[in-house]
Structure 1
Amino acid sequence: MASRRSTRGLDWLNFFVADMQTGFGPFVAVYLTAQGWTEFEVGMALSIGTLTTVLSQLPAGAMVDSTPHKRAAALVALLAIPASALLLAIWPTGLPVIASEILHGVASCVLAPAIAAISLALVGRAALGERLGRNARYAAVGNGLAAAALGAAGTYLSGASVFWLTAILAIPSLVALVFIRSEDLRPSLPAAERREGPSLRGLLDLLRLRGVVVFAICCGLFTLANAAMLPLAGAEVTRNAGEEANLIIAACIVLPQFVVALISPWMGRLAERRGRRIALLLGFGALPLRGLLLALVDDPLVLVLVQALDGISAAVLGILLPLLAADLTQGSNRFNLCIGVFGLAVGIGGTLSTTVAGAVASWLGPGAAFAMLGVAGLLSFLLVLLALPETAPLGRRAGEVTA
């Protein structure tokens, strides 16, 4: 059983990593818009980061699977993220911003599977759902608190201060990683079963599984709908609200993260007791509703309230993506490669989302862009409803698992 020190270290690692990651995404859109970048230029810059993720997900997943040094992989990523934040803070011009997005994209697609691998190695597959719910709760609290602090810094200090603070938050993240003891991390498989060679060779085997293919498509459609919603809303708020834009964006992040923190443990238990699909339907169903409402409202207060729906979707995807990967790779050493497949789909969806939504907003207006995103979200919900098989082991459903 994992020591209390390692368990707490993983808790706080999720907390402070979320703090750092909050400085990217919507805050980048607000920052670059304030620097005079157009919607299309902002969309292209964000898309470069997600394109980097597309190219890096599978190698990153295979690397994390193949190395016994999960903490070292997380360490390298934790050092790269503050470096990318500093590039944004110091040089908010073309090439440095592109370099920052590339560096952040690579680091993020290593860090996410590394933390998932550490979680699996710490608690085992049987307790993974509960652990992922706990990860999501700490990440949500960290994200919400960081959004409030970074929003205030961007409003009352400068836009660049958001990224200076992001870089500083790497320090407690590294301390938390040190607290996770290597002797508490057990292999996900006995040594006798780990004879597959480099896990990237198992990609074709993964793609023969219906659950992997269907959920990868669901992830792509989900992120196509989701990725551009808040950056697009943030660009509109920046034009309409002026100096208060950073505070409004911060509120749009804080409220969903409060929802994530509130419901994540319950979602993890629901997925274990009642199966994965019911939890997925709740999260994926909230997405098209959010897109529809964002297309209809322009009041900043209502915008913040609508963003609460993002908390439901974020909690579900954050927990279910690695949980389905664990289900679908039971008995193999391809857990992180499967996460990479899903992450690749997420990256493709995100790349298309920010670029296409930015173009549609420029040509037809933000209302049309939100409507387009909502339709993509509806398609992802229907695919979960009609095509995704249940992946939870039978013994873990219908109340057979203790809390």
Structure 2
Amino acid sequence: MSHDAALHLPRNTGAALVATPLVALAFVNFFLADARDGLGPFLDAFLATQGWSPFSLGMIATFGGVLGMAVTPLFGALVDNSPYKRLLVIIPVTLVTAAALWTLAMPNMAVVVGGQTVTAIVGAVIGPALMGLTLGLVGEAAFPHQVSRNEFWNHAGNVASLAGVYFAATFYGLPGIVVLMVATAIGAVAATLAIDPKKIDHKVARGLGHDEGEEGPSGYSVLAGSRGLIVLAVIMLVFHFGNAPISRLVAQQFSVQLGTPFRTTALITGVAQLTMIGAAVAAPFLIRRFGLASIFIIGLLALPIRGAIAGSIDNFWMIYPVQVLDGLGAGLIGIATPVAAERILSGTGRFNVGLAAVMTVQGIGASTSNIVAGTLTESYGFHAAYWAHGAVALIALIPFLLFRRDVAPPARTR
């Protein structure tokens, strides 16, 4: 489907009109960088300075991950069938922000668990809803490029947020953090409301840019019906099992050493986010020139190197190569995954539920890794956890190389 058709505009319509919903979408991604995850990477660092152990933090992260994993496919099906995709962004942002503010005010066990429960359940709908909005606005042909643009603005928003957190914490302390969180939540809601709902093609948004003549599988069965999707899910499970805990552990390690959880985490996370901006810019070129498989291979190779560096160096400066590799690996994989899912499921009408199924399996890897990483850290130290999780990522490369044509098919010719 052409870009113009996806926007319901004739081909002679001015470019400014075409760009309007995409400008709003850029602002949605910019503000969601801070608003979709609540405290996000700052939670571990903040709680570590409150006396929480790595094992306890791993348990909390695992608990939230399992909840999110359980509901993500259901929300993917909801996005496929709902004409209210903007609302499926606005409600979770509001609830996640409220949960984060509650946690900052009273960081005891009951509040932290309750806040993470809310964040995990309602936050799981934001990813599928955002992908559905994107596909419904631009169509299949422009989707890979628009996913890269989304990632660019998301990471730019993260960098701006991290800089804001760093200076707010330095000059205003916790009240400054609270004001920043409320402001970004308001920005995300306003930007989402600025997207004209009439510009969203809900048929295209669920992967029916062209019709195969029969309805695709529904619910969890969408995963079992496609070898490419199954292998993609397995690769994501292994990759995120290795990748998910490393930044958290780095933030815990140096936040406790330096006693500055918000500033330290802002710097550590900011290095990765700046690199992800570069990855988002490079990804469309790499896909066009070398194919979708190229960014999978680069992303999968970055993590083992990252784990080896983190496991070998104990000085604070190691955060720079470690987080640059995180930005490169996770940044490219984050772009490649929805593009691959869209190509695999093109014509089925089950794009969002299929992508959500992959995200669920991915969530199994990410959530279980947290408790494993916490146990390794308490028993053998940070370096052992870095080596172990970096080494696991090498396993993800094997199924990709064996089934790369199924996982990263070429774009459909139109």
Partner of 1:234: 251
How many residues are matched?
395
Measured after TM superposition, the shift of residue 41 of structure 1 is 1.0
From 193, 199, 218, the counterpart of 1:199: 218
More displaced, 14-23 or 94-103? Answer: 14-23
Q: Mean Cα displacement is larger for which, 187-196 or 10-19?
A: 187-196
What TM-score do you get using the length of structure 2 for normalisation?
0.89
Q: Which ranges of structure 1 fall in alignment gaps of 5 or more residues?
A: none
- Correspondence for 1:65: 80
Q: Residue 84 in 1 paired to residue 99 in 2?
A: yes
Deviations 1:220-269 (CA, angstroms, capped at 9, x unpaired): 111111111011111110222123x4323212211221111123132133
Q: Is the contact between residue 308 and residue 387 of structure 2 (CA under 8 Å) also seen in structure 1? A: yes
Asked if 1:30 is matched to 2:45, the reply is: yes
- Scaled by the length of structure 1, what TM-score is found? 0.91
Q: Which runs of 5+ in 2 are unaligned?
A: 8-17
1:247-286 map, 5 Å: 247-286=263-302
Amino acid in the other structure paired with 2:333: L
Assess if the C-alpha contact under 8 Å between 1:57 and 1:340 holds in 2. yes
Question: 1:303-322 CA deviation, whole Å, 9 max, x = no partner?
Answer: 23321111111221221111
1:225 counterpart residue number: 242
What is aligned with 1:339? 355
**Structure 1 pair 69/293, CA: closer, same or farther in 2 (3 Å)?**
same
Letter in 2 for 1:352: T
C-alpha distance in 2, partners of 1:283/1:31? 29
The CA deviation string for residues 90-114 of structure 1, in whole angstroms up to 9 with x for no partner, is 2211111111111111222100110
Pair 327,198 (structure 1): closer, same or farther in 2 beyond 3 Å: closer
Q: Is the 8 A contact 1:221 1:379 kept in 2?
A: yes
Query: Contact between 1:248 and 1:300, CA under 8 Å: does it hold in 2?
Result: no
Find out whether 1:135 has 2:150 as its counterpart: yes
Tell me if structure 2 keeps the 8 A contact 1:196–1:333: yes
Q: CA deviation at 1:217?
A: 0.8
Who is 1:39 aligned against? 54
The match for 2:13 is: none
1:293-340 deviations in whole A, cap 9, x for unaligned?
111112112223321111111221221111111111111111111111
- For the 8 Å contact 2:300–2:397, the answer to whether it is kept is yes
- Cα deviations across residues 28-65 of structure 1 (Å, max 9, x unaligned)? 00110111111111111122211111111110111111
Matches for 1:138-153 after TM superposition, within 5 Å: 138-153=153-168
Q: Which residue of 1 aligns with 2:14?
A: none
**Out of 324, 341, 344, which is 2:340 matched to?**
324
Letter in 2 for 1:199: S
Instruction: Measure, in 2, the Cα distance between the counterparts of 1:194 and 1:248.
Output: 54
- CA distance in 1 between partners of 2:212 and 2:225 (Å): 21
Letter in 1 for 2:258: A
Root-mean-square deviation over aligned CA pairs: 2.3
Question: For the Cα contact (< 8 Å) 2:307–2:322, is it kept in 1?
Answer: no
Deviation at 1:72, TM superposition (A): 1.8
Mapped to 2, the partners of 1:121 and 1:20 lie a distance apart of: 23
